[in-house]
Structures are given as C-alpha cells and as structure tokens.
Structure 1
C-alpha cells in the first residue's frame, strides 16, 4: 500500500532530522578544505574531496565527466540514473547545480571562529564558504540519498559542480547551458534569502576600465605628464553617478590600481567595476552613458571592456510550475509557506533562466553573511532544507509539465 503524500513527507522529514549531524559533518568537511577561486591546487583538492563525498553517500555514478577549467577550477558532472521509471523517454531528469569555489583567499580559515553565538539563542556555524555555498552542496547530496531511501520513483539526477562561479563562471557557463538543456528541471543549491527561494536575480557586468596617460617626473616636469590615476579617478566618480538604484542598477568600483612609482606621473591605471542591472534596457543605458564619460585631460585615453557576465533572471513561464511544486512539497512537510524573492546577486541560475528553462535558485543554506567575514548558517535548518530538495526530487520522476 502506497503511503499518503503527508505520511511520506513526515517520514522524509523525520529521517532528515535523524541524519542531520552527519550532514553537518559533511558540510564542515567541505569547509575545512579551502577553495579560493584563484587557488588552482586548492580547487583541485576540493573537487576531489567533493567527488569522494558524493560517491561515499550515493555510490559510483552511472556517468561522470570532468571539464578542464584552464585558469579556473574544473567542472564535474556526476549522473545517477533514475529509479522506477528507467532513463528513457518519459523519465524525468533533474540537474542540481552548485559551485565549490569561494571568495575567500587561502589561509582565511586560520583563526576563523566556527561556532558563533547569536542574539536569538540559535546556534550558528561559521566558516569560509559555509553559507555560499558548501552547505548547499552537502544538502543536495544527502537529498538524493534520502529520496532514494524513501523508495519513491526518482528522476535521473545530474550533479554539476563548478569551481569558477564566484569569478563569473568563465569556463563553466557553456557546460551549465548544455547540461541544463538536456535536463527537464534545474535546481541551484545556492543559499536561500532568509528561507526564501530566489526567482529573480540581477544581471551582472564585470567591466575593466583602463586609463593610459603620459609618464613624467613628478618634481622636474609634472606639466609634461598626464596622470592616468587622476583621469581614472574622475571616470570612477562619474561612473558612480550612472547608477540608478530606483531602477535596480548599481555600480561599484571594487578594484583600482595604477602607477609605477610615487615620484612618477602615472602612465597607466586600471579599475574593476561591478555593475548590477534588472533589465536589458538598463544594460544598454549603462553602456551608452559610460562610453560618453569625458575626463578633463584629453591626453589620457580611457578604454572600457564592456564584459556583461550574466543576464538578468526573472521567474519565467517554465519556472512557475516548478515553484508551485516546491511550495506543495513544503506544505506537505509542514511548512507554513515557501516564499520567493528577488535579490541583487547573480548566480548560475541566470544562465538557465534566460534560455527559457525551468529553474529554481536558493535551494540551499539558511543563514546570512555571504562574502562577509563571519558568514554563517543555522544548523537547525539543515534537515528541513535537505528534506525539501529530497521531496521535490521525489515529485519529478516524470518531466514537469507547465
């Protein structure tokens, strides 16, 4: 006799509670291996650790492929065939996406306070990358394990682990796009927004601005020089005024360097500019207005590399039924609601959404502090988040129909 949805959901939730300490142990195992986006040896070790952990929990995959990342971390796909429906026509196929790289430089772990008290009396676990997004990785692996244990028919599941998300998914983007198009549904294991899934994200631009001036002796002939630093400073101030927060557009110059010596009028300077937009129209406006900026010294040449990295993400028609399904699973598991929200950050979900494919992002950790010292998770939320993903997998043995 088949258990009712409510009974099956209760069993899954109870099991997630029982194994929660083991899931947390796996989270901390991943966190203790530092994986800075710029540390290729650390990324290689971290990916192998992640692969071994997946195999320990789920067995050897039916298909495995590693895509070299070049100057970025490699991308790994591990596919586990569905149960009860086979893997042919009519069987569901779910892609679980998660990045294993972090923004934190190697060495950040030393001296990091792991257990942090909170004002609300709840335990917090902290560590570089624990919130963004190593908790999501561990929860995703355990979600499939728990879904298997439930005995429900399951879709084929492909894990995609990439090591360059924090620097724009420069090598992994084509792999993500190709793999997502072969799947019926994509779930991105990025952290939640205080428990809410993310159905809209801003598009991002990673612009490099170069100023080329004229070097001269700062004491003997300063008038002969044209300072690239001064000109680029003017540009940065003007660029900040192009931002339009009321339209969802922000502009942040996060890196600035230049010059060769303190007593030399700078001949070269560069700036790294982070741009976030909510629409393609804003992309066009920003491009045009940045190109129109003039600096006071005409001898300095300003060059802008307009590198739009991720398109804006919205809740497309294909994703709406997936959100409805996730909410239904959440209700069956005893949640009052499963809110969704729009956020300023971008993720690999942007690449999937713009293709018109069904995708939900923010299926991972509950906590806060992404990219900030002391990022943390609430370990008491790990069972519910794991059970949610497991429950969704259990409902996707057949392709989702919108």
Structure 2
C-alpha cells in the first residue's frame, strides 16, 4: 500500500503552516470570482482562473483536457506525472476531484458580510463558496506543490475540476467515472464534517412532477376547469408523507410553479422534489409509493420524472484501506484521531463508490454553513488539511488496488 521513503506528514504540515497565508490568498482569489452553477460566462472565467492558479503553483501539466459542459460548466482535467519508482508503469495514480461551481447567484458577493470570531474566539473567513468548496480546491493544489517540494517519490496526480456538481453533475458524471476507473484512488476535496472525512452519503433524487389539468375561466365557468395547482398541491402533501426519517429518507419540494393568470383555472403546474435515501431498498419504496399517489380530480394527469441522480455511498471494501492510510497520516501529524462520518448530502464521491472503487470524501475545508448565507472556514485549519492531503499523496506511490 505504501512506498518508502514517504514525506513525513508532520514536516509537510509544518511547511504548510509556513505558507498558510499564501494558501488563504489563493482561496480568496477563487472566492472573488463568482461561479454560480447557472452563470456560464462566470463559470468559464472561474475555470480559467482555476487553471491559471494551478499552473502558477505546479507548472504546466503533462496532460490536460477540457470537456465542454453544454448548458453546464466545463470539466477540466490536469495530470501531473508521478516521480515514484517506475513512474508511469505502476507508480500509483491519484484522482483529486473538486467542483468550482457554487449555489450562489452572481452578484451575491457584493452584499456578503464577514463574520466575527466564533464563540471560542477563532477567526473565521466567509464568502460565497468558500466552504463548499473553493478552499478544498486551493488546498489540493498546494498539497501537491508541497509534496513535490519535499523531494520524495510521488504518484501521478490528476486534478478534475467540474462546474456542475451543485446541479447534479449532469455533464461531468461520465468524465468523473472514467477518470476514477483509470486512477488507483480518488480523493474528493469537498469540505469536512467538522473535521471528519465523509465515508457515507445519501443517494439523491431530483424529481420533476408535472400536473396537467383543464383551463377555464375562474369566474364564468370554474366548474369546467380542473386545477393543476390544486392537484399538484395534493400530490406534494402526500409525497411528504412518503418520507421516513428513521430510515434516512427525506423528501423536500423546493420548487413549485404553475398557472397562467390569476383568473384562470390552472392548466399546468410543476414541482421540483429533492429526495435523499440511504439505501437502494428505500429508493425502490419511494418510487413505488410516489407512483401510487392519487389526486382528487381524475381530470388532472400527474407525471413523475424519476430522476435518481446519485446512488447511496457507503464505506466499501476498497475504501477501507484508504481510510486507514489517511488515519495513519493524521497520527503522524499529531492528531488524536481522524473521525469519519455519514452525511445527508451527496457528492461526486457517490459515483466513484458505486463503482466499487476506493474513495474518500471530505478532504477539504473545516468550517460550516454549506449553502447558507455566511458559510465560513477556520483559517487556522488550512495548514493541517493541506498537510493531510499532501501526506496521503506521498503514501500512494504504489497502487492501493491491483
């Protein structure tokens, strides 16, 4: 699993501490370029900036490819050849995955306020996307930089930056899956869960529900109409009852649109439903029970697009040795432990785990507030997290799996 000699994790972390202000500067540079998932020009500028920053820190890659995203942000891969024994012929290959898109609409930055210190007096840095997940991007780049500067053997490293993770990785999923199959291990630079790596994530469904009714004049002939809005409202209430939090299943209708005018019985309505499940069995149950929902007016047709976006992620057999390796590095850093946890959110790690491949998620920022106004990081953790990733890279100069 490991190669010798490997760069000492403690020394890498010390070096990361010496340059932590520069790492933070790079984080803030990325945050200042807004990259909403729905702003294609902003995404293009953000990816150009991210590539420029990577090249500034690491030099020109040995291979790169930009995959057009269509209506989504592009995906970029940058590969840096390994320096381990037999590099290129079994030296180990690590895929570092991170998304550069954020949930924040363009223009959010202008009104963003910095928080004061936390209750225990620790400094915090805030900005749209700083926690989820531009800090992880910068830390990953610097992790390879510091590992290379140590002079120790290193694996081949491929960075994969995608611009559509927050909307389901609609164009980047096949690129991620192909890249993961070519690599020996995948590290996803998503934020930590209060310092813990994420080894289990819920599967997600992004369902679109459409109700088609009959339009009519709301005053002259309301009886001739069949309201799509009323029927869809009934469906949404019934769908919420399908949730089973005790089994890890949640259902949230986050978008609802319908009707054409206030004095017209609505002929059309749509709802966007977010579904989270912890198992394939729950996924099947939800499908069946949603399809069985009936509305009171039989003239309204309900159609459900069962769009399961990400499969559930668990700590598979391939990933367990990778977790053990990361914990070994953390101990060398002087940490008491490196906990792992299950979380409700999904990420691109779900795709990799579903292939039975080794993957660790949550290797990035320490902070809080993902997708919430005021999301933040603790800058005093940047060095340790960067050192952790650098230390793991130094122990993967041989394949973790055959």
Give the shorter-chain TM-score range: over 0.9
**Partner residue of 2:178?**
178
1:317-337 deviation line (CA, Å, top 9, x unaligned): 000000000000000010000
Question: Which whole-Å deviations, capped at 9, do the CAs of 1:19-72 have from their partners, x for residues lacking one?
Answer: 000000000000000000000000000000000000000000000000000000
Counterpart contact for 2:40–2:72, Cα < 8 Å: yes
Conserved? CA contact 1:83–1:156, under 8 Å:
yes
Pair 2,135 (structure 1): closer, same or farther in 2 beyond 3 Å: closer
How far did 1:115 drift? Answer: 4.5
Counterparts of 1:317-332 in structure 2, within 5 Å, are 317-332=317-332
Query: Would the aligned equivalents of 1:258 and 1:270 in 2 still touch at CA under 8 Å?
Result: yes
SS in 2 for 1:303: strand
Q: For the structure 1 residues 20 and 292, does the alpha-carbon distance in structure 2 shift closer, same or farther, using more than 3 Å as the test?
A: same
In structure 2, distance between residues paired with 1:77 and 1:342: 28
Conservation of the 8 A alpha-carbon contact between 1:6 and 1:333: no
Q: Which residue of 1 aligns with 2:25?
A: 25
Distance 2:373 2:7 in 1: 41
Q: 1:2 to 1:385 in 2, by over 3 A?
A: closer
Rounded Cα–Cα distance in structure 2 between residues aligned with 1:286 and 1:273 = 12
TM-score (norm 1): 0.98
Tell me the matched-pair count: 402
Q: Is the 8 A contact 2:213 2:225 kept in 1?
A: yes
1:2 positional shift? 15
1:86-134 CA distance string (max 9 Å, x none): 4332210000000000000001101201353321110110000000000
Q: CA deviation at 1:151?
A: 1.1
* 1:161/1:149 CA distance change after superposition, 3 Å: same
1:175 positional shift: 0.2
Alpha carbons of 1:320 and 1:186: their partners in 2 closer, same or farther (altered >3 Å)?
same
Structure 1: distance between partners of 2:135 and 2:342: 21
The alpha-carbon distance between structure 1 residues 338 and 5, as it changes in their structure 2 partners (threshold 3 A), is farther
Question: Which residue of 2 is the match for residue 89 of structure 1?
Answer: 89
Which TM-score applies when normalising by structure 2?
A: 0.98
Q: d(CA) in 1 for partners of 2:12 and 2:385? A: 11
Q: Is the 8 A contact 2:242 2:286 kept in 1?
A: yes
Structure 2 CA distance for partners of 1:390 and 1:2, relative to 1, 3 Å: closer
**Cα–Cα, structure 1 residues 219 and 343, in superposed 2: closer, same or farther, change >3 Å?**
same
CA distance in 1, matches of 2:298, 2:120: 57
Cα separation, 1, equivalents of 2:357 and 2:94? 12
The Cα RMSD (Å) is: 1.9
Q: 1:252, 1:275 within 8 Å by CA — same for their partners in 2?
A: yes
Contact 1:6 1:332 survives alignment (8 Å): no
Cα-to-partner distance string for 1:323-357 (whole Å, 9 max, x where unaligned): 00000000001000000000000000000000000
Pairs within 5 Å for 1:230-309: 230-309=230-309
Provide, for residues 149-168 of structure 1, a one-character-per-residue CA deviation record: whole Å limited to 9, x for no partner.
11110000000000000000
Q: Give the Cα–Cα distance (whole angstroms) in 1 for the partners of residues 395 and 275 of structure 2.
A: 38
Q: Is the Cα–Cα contact under 8 Å of residues 67 and 76 in structure 1 kept in the other structure?
A: yes
Structure 2 spans left out of the alignment, 5+ residues: none
Deviation at 1:171, TM superposition (A): 0.2
Secondary structure of residue in 1 paired with 2:125? strand
Mapped contact 1:201–1:278 kept (Cα < 8 A): yes
Pair 164,84 (structure 1): closer, same or farther in 2 beyond 3 Å = same
Distance 1:2 1:15 in 2: 22
Deviations 1:145-189 (A, max 9, x none): 000011110000000000000000000000000000000000000
Aligned partners of 2:8 and 2:391 also within 8 Å: no
